[in-house]
Structures are given as C-alpha cells and as structure tokens.
Chains A and B, each alone.
Chain A
Amino acid sequence: MAVIDLANPTRFLNIVNRVLPWLAAITIVLFAVGLYRAMNAPDDYQQGATVKIMFLHVPAAWLGMFGWALMSVAALGTLVWRHPLADVAGKAAAPIGAAFTFICLVTGSLWGRPTWGTYWVWDARLTSMLVLLLLYLGVLALYWTAEEPGRGARAAAILALVGAVNLPIIKFSVDWWNTLHQPASVFRMGGSTIAPAILTPLLIMALAFTMLFVVLHLAAMRNEILRRRVRTMRLMQARELAEAGA
C-alpha cells in the first residue's frame, strides 16, 4: 500500500481502527516500565527526590513542541497541497499539544519552587514556553469560533506556520540568553550530562508519553473525520428538506 493511500479518510479510519488497540497496549506497557524505573531511580545529589518531576516535565516539554511542529507540517499540507487529512491532523493535534505544554509549565513550576525558590520567573525559556501555550489557545480559538470550517482551518494553518518561529526560540533560549533554566542536558554536543540511572527511566518515560501522544492524536483524528461526516450528512439533510419544501 502506498503512503498516498492514507489520504483516503475511509482507508485511514480502517487502519486506525486496526492499530489503535495495539498502540494503546504498547503505551500502557511503556508507562508501567517507565513509572517503575522512575520511582526506583536514585535521588539527584543536588535536587534530591524532586528530580522525579523531571520524568514528567521533560517529556511534556518535548511533546508540547512536537505538537506544534506537527501542526506546522499539517499547515503546509492544508495551505500548499490541500491534503484531505492535513487539516484533520492539525486540528486534532492542537488540544493535545496544548495539554502537554500546560503539563510542562505546571510541573516546571512545581519543580522550580523547591530547586530555585520560586514558582515562576520571566526568563526566556519559561516565557517562550508560555507563549507556546498562548499560541495553542489562539489556534484552538480559531478552530472553535470559525463559522465556516475551511476559513478557520486556513487561519489556524497560517498561525501554526507563523508560530513555528517560536520553536527554535524555545530550544535555544537557554543558550542565547542568561536564564535561570538549565541548559540542554539530554541531547547535546558531547553527550548527556545525566547519570544513566536517571537518564534511562527518563528516555522510557519520554517514549511512553510519545506513544500516548500518537494514540491520542490518531483517536482525535478519527473523531474529527467522523465529525466532518456528520456535518456533511446534516448539510445533505438540510438540502433535501429545502428541495422537498420548494
């Protein structure tokens, strides 16, 4: 089967219905292993047990940014190639990405209080992440308030592409500015600075959260396709009623 075949929503639904239970099962197993390893990971020599918040905070930050990157690719599909599933993918990713960005901000704040002595500072990393959440809310507002779905989709796609500028700002904010937030410590030149006993559960949790994102995204895409079918059928019904009355 060619990749282009996935452009057919009916075929896409058939594939999603088949793979979703398996992906959900893999996600549950990964979370079981990841949480077990995370709860039994040693304390950090400086931060103590609060390092356990990292197993939530870091994957949520990655997925908050991943969600926007996915929406940006989908936006290209909507605006340039008019791919039938592109807008569906973008719209389905928005609330999930917003939720992970929210988790990142809240867990970061709860981690910051015992380690930095404050819940919040207006430094570049924290502020650019907050901007990402506000951008997500803007996209959701465009989708939810547009009277004509196509117009809302195009506006949301433009905002997704413009907002993509924020992704490198988030990533490199800790290098470009003097921030309270620590610099990159997992993926960096010269290797990770995190001890393997903490890095391994972090990577397993990151994989588990990524699988959760994929499962939620596929399920939300399926729902959006069904919602569009409902809308089409209601329009057909209205047209038939109008013709019958004419």
Chain B
Amino acid sequence: MNLGPHADFIVAAYAVTVFVVAALLAWVVLDYSAQRRILGDLEERGITRRSQGKG
C-alpha cells in the first residue's frame, strides 16, 4: 500500500484517532472496575441503598 507524498498526514490522522478511541475505552473500563470496587467495599461494610440499617 503506497500512501504517497502525504503519508505523514494520513498516519497522523489514524494515530490520533486510535489514541482518542483507546482513551475512551480505557476510561469506561477503568471507571467500571473502580465503581464496582467501591460498591463492593460499601456492601462489605453492610451499607445498602435502602434504609435497612446494617446487614
């Protein structure tokens, strides 16, 4: 595949897109594991979303 005299611009466009999409994927995956971890910690301490007190 020959990208011609403007290959740098094409490669840069694909690189930026890959970087931004990777950042979005990392954001949703890391955020999900963080929220799951915090929820797990709270539930282990007996805290619920309803006013049931401890347990």
Give residues in A with beta carbon < 8 Å to B. Answer: 39-40, 43, 48-50, 52-53, 56-57, 60, 95-96, 99, 102-103, 106-107, 110-111, 113-114, 212, 216, 219-220, 222-223, 226-227, 229-230, 232-234, 236-237, 240
Contact = CB atoms under 8 A, between A and B. Distances in A.
B4 A53 contact: no
Nearest to A52: B10
B51 A236 contact: yes
Main secondary structure of the interface of B (DSSP, over half): helix
Contacts, number: 100
Contacts of B27: 95, 220
Given A60-B17, A236-B49, A227 B35 contact: yes
A216 B13 CA distance: 21
Interface of B: 1-7, 9-10, 12-14, 16-17, 20-21, 23-25, 27-29, 31-32, 35-36, 38-39, 42, 45, 47-51, 53-54
Closest 3 CB pairs of A and B: A226-B35, A114-B6, A219-B28
A48 B4 contact: yes
Contacts of B38: 230
A52 B9 CA distance: 10
A234 B42 CA distance: 8
A102 B32 CA distance: 24
